[in-house]
Amino acid sequence: MTAELFIQAAYLVGSVLFILGLRGLSSPTTARRGMFQAELGMLLAVVGTLLRFEVVSYQWILIAFFLGSAIGVPIAYIMPMTAVPQRTAFSHACGALASALIGTAEYYKGLRQGPAPTTVEMTALIVETLLGFLTFTASLMAFGKLQEVLPQRPITYKGQNLVNISLLLFAVLVAVYLVLHPGETRLFPLMIGIPLLFGVLMIVPIGGADMPTVISLLNSYAGLSAAAMGFVLNSKLLIIAGALDGSSGLILSVIMSKAMNRSFTNVLFGAFGQVQTSSAAVKEARTVRSATPEEAAAILGAANSVVIVPGYGMAVAQAQHKVRELYDALTKRGVDVKFAIHPVAGRMPGHMNVLLAEADIPYDKLLDMDAINPEFPYTDVALVIGANDVTNPAARTDPASPIYGMPILDVDKARTVMVIKRGMSPGFAGIDNELYYLDKTLMLFGDAKAVVGDLVRKLGGDGHG
Ligand code: NAP
């Protein structure tokens, strides 16, 4: 009885900590605390479960623990921050497989040992298995595309959507039949095979550029599968955790789609990134103006206001600490420095916030797109560091551009624009950027960390700093 009381208390406190953790993650100031709360919640949930009377021996659990840790711990250290989307895809695949296997085991166990599952239990079990297996292969495919083990381009063929939708409908029909006739064991393997196949087919037509949004959607499926597992295993904690996971994943996908001005249907069926029909793509080679670090440092040092626009290139170069030094050097000279944060800059939501927080840049200097855009016309220098798509004016001006309609940072409205990047390569969307050819734009070619380091040196070494 005392053990049962402890378990229930651990589950209750664990659930509350999950909710507080998610709440904490909504702001950079409280994110670390939120993460700690969520971890503590998970620890309580695991300890509570291990104490359940159904757990009669620990040997298999210990084997799984060491096996899981042997995979999980190195991944946490080896995979860089820029690879977080594919790392997340991989962990979804593992979680979803676990959930699907439990669903399968519970089905056969229920039939062999009784009592046979009720309609409600059977519905939860089928949802868990279907979503679990589907998410497993879809997440592995997403991982492969992002890690570039598989081709990034969408692969399409005639009648693809029809094939996919028919397969899904067939799975739903079998599922409904099984819910009504749980004893039809011959049909259950279809509940494994169809979703495994559907997961692959669902990702094939989606391009690498849309993978982060899809991963967030798969996160939501894995959460729903876990919530269904909660009903099967009669675990309120799993239902709560799964529901939180499912809803936050869905909200995140909606936010990301909005920030890219895409609809869900367009992300899932649009084959984005397949053929570039943008007028920018057929433009002849044009010249750009480049500047030396000395010239750039002189302009920056003489400015009243500078807005730094970080992007994926800053993350790749790990230039955030150098950017902090630049911020210090400029503010020391009395320059007003702010950071413009686009919601999908980088490769995952909050990517720039995390990096800049790591470099201890004051949070109040980080401004969201809506807050900073009206300030660009009054800004002396917009300094773009490894950002590309999120600054591309084609999103406002070129209806033929694949990113037309995507809200962007209006850096082209600043008095002077400086862009740090290594060459003229396009960004994630694979399209040229009109910004680089403007008269007011100066290109600073090189690795972001090296160039920002040069700027800091020039600013500090000319006697004004
Ligand atoms: P981006 O458009 O991908 O451009 C990054 C730029 O960084 C490239 O043009 C590249 O040019 C430069 N670069 C790469 N390595 C560099 C280095 N070491 N030093 C300096 N520059 C470097 O990045 P973004 O402007 O941040 O836009 C993000 C894109 O990802 C958007 O298209 C967005 O829709 C997409 N996306 C984001 C999310 C999210 O959640 N954040 C989710 C889904 C999709 P060079 O190679 O010439 O240097």
pLDDT of the residue at 462: 44
> Which ligand 1 atom sits closest to the C-alpha of 347?
41
Q: Which residue has the higher pLDDT, 293 or 116?
A: 293
433 CB within 6 A, ligand 1: no
Helices (H), 204-263: 211-233, 236-259
Taking only the tens place, the pLDDT of each residue in 23-60 is 998 887 888 899 999 999 999 999 999 998 888 889 99
pLDDT of the residue at 464: 42
Among the listed residues 245, 389, 410, 454, the single catalytic one is 389
Cα-to-centroid distance, 38 and ligand 1 (Å): 30
Does the active-site annotation cover 410?
no
Q: Which range (144-148, 294-298, 347-351, 459-463) has the least confidence?
A: 459-463
Highest mean pLDDT among 23-27, 151-155, 298-302, 395-399: 298-302
Taking only the tens place, the pLDDT of each residue in 319-351 is 999 999 999 999 999 999 999 999 889 887 788
* Residue among 457, 424, 418, 441 nearest 294 (CA): 457
Q: What is the C-alpha separation between 398 and 205, in angstroms, rounded?
A: 25
Task: Report the DSSP beta bridge partners of residue 310.
Answer: 385
pLDDT of the residue at 317: 94
Q: What is the arithmetic mean of pLDDT over 138-154?
A: 87
Cα-to-centroid distance, 141 and ligand 1 (Å): 22
Q: What is the C-alpha separation between 45 and 6, in angstroms, rounded?
A: 11
213 CB within 6 A, ligand 1: yes
Q: What is the arithmetic mean of pLDDT over 119-136?
A: 92
Taking only the tens place, the pLDDT of each residue in 368-416 is 999 999 999 999 999 999 999 999 999 999 888 878 888 899 999 999 9
Max intra-chain CA distance, the chain:
84
Q: Which residue has the higher pLDDT, 270 or 465?
A: 270
Taking only the tens place, the pLDDT of each residue in 419-428 is 999 999 998 8
Q: What is the arithmetic mean of pLDDT over 353-357?
A: 89
212 CB within 6 A, ligand 1: yes
Residues contacting 12, CB < 8 A, separation 6+:
none
Cα-to-centroid distance, 358 and ligand 1 (Å): 19
Q: pTM for this structure?
A: 0.77
CA of 143: how far to CAs of 146, 200, 280, in Å? 5, 12, 30
pLDDT of the residue at 279: 47
347 CB within 6 A, ligand 1: yes
pLDDT of the residue at 117: 80
260 CB within 6 A, ligand 1: yes
Confidence band for 465, pLDDT divided at 50, 70 and 90: very low
Cα-to-centroid distance, 347 and ligand 1 (Å): 8
353 CB within 6 A, ligand 1: no
Q: Is the pLDDT of residue 284 over 60?
A: no
Q: Is the pLDDT of residue 274 over 60?
A: no
- For residue 157, give the 3-state DSSP assignment: coil
Q: Is the pLDDT of residue 183 over 70?
A: yes
Q: What is the C-alpha separation between 220 and 229, in angstroms, rounded?
A: 14
Burial class (CB in 10 A: 0-12, 13-18, 19+), 276: middle
Contact 309, 300 (CB under 8 A): no
- Return mean pLDDT, the chain: 88
* Residue among 351, 321, 342 nearest 80 (CA): 351
444 CB within 6 A, ligand 1: no
Q: What is the arithmetic mean of pLDDT over 89-93?
A: 89
Q: What is the C-alpha separation between 36 and 25, in angstroms, rounded?
A: 10
351 CB within 6 A, ligand 1: yes
pLDDT of the residue at 285: 66
Q: Is the pLDDT of residue 266 over 80?
A: no
Choose the residue to mutate in 252, 312, 323, 454 for probing ligand 1, maximizing ligand atoms within 8 Å of C-beta: 312
Taking only the tens place, the pLDDT of each residue in 213-231 is 888 888 888 888 889 888 8
Residues contacting 452, CB < 8 A, separation 6+:
319, 322, 323, 325, 326, 385, 420
Q: Which range (119-128, 255-264, 294-303) has the least confidence?
A: 255-264
pLDDT of the residue at 277: 45
Q: Is the pLDDT of residue 192 over 90?
A: yes
387 CB within 6 A, ligand 1: yes
Cα-to-centroid distance, 385 and ligand 1 (Å): 10
Choose the residue to mutate in 422, 424, 436, 449 for probing ligand 1, maximizing ligand atoms within 8 Å of C-beta: 422
> Which ligand 1 atom sits closest to the C-alpha of 387?
25
Cα-to-centroid distance, 338 and ligand 1 (Å): 20
* Residue among 101, 195, 210 nearest 145 (CA): 210
pLDDT of the residue at 272: 53
Q: Is the pLDDT of residue 278 over 50?
A: no
CA of 89: how far to CAs of 145, 281, 322, in Å? 10, 31, 31
Confidence band for 271, pLDDT divided at 50, 70 and 90: low
Q: What is the C-alpha separation between 120 and 234, in angstroms, rounded?
A: 12
Q: Which residue has the higher pLDDT, 212 or 346?
A: 346
Residues contacting 349, CB < 8 A, separation 6+:
216, 252, 255, 256, 343
**Quick one: what percent of the chain has pLDDT higher than 70?**
94
18 phi, psi to nearest 5 deg: -60, -45
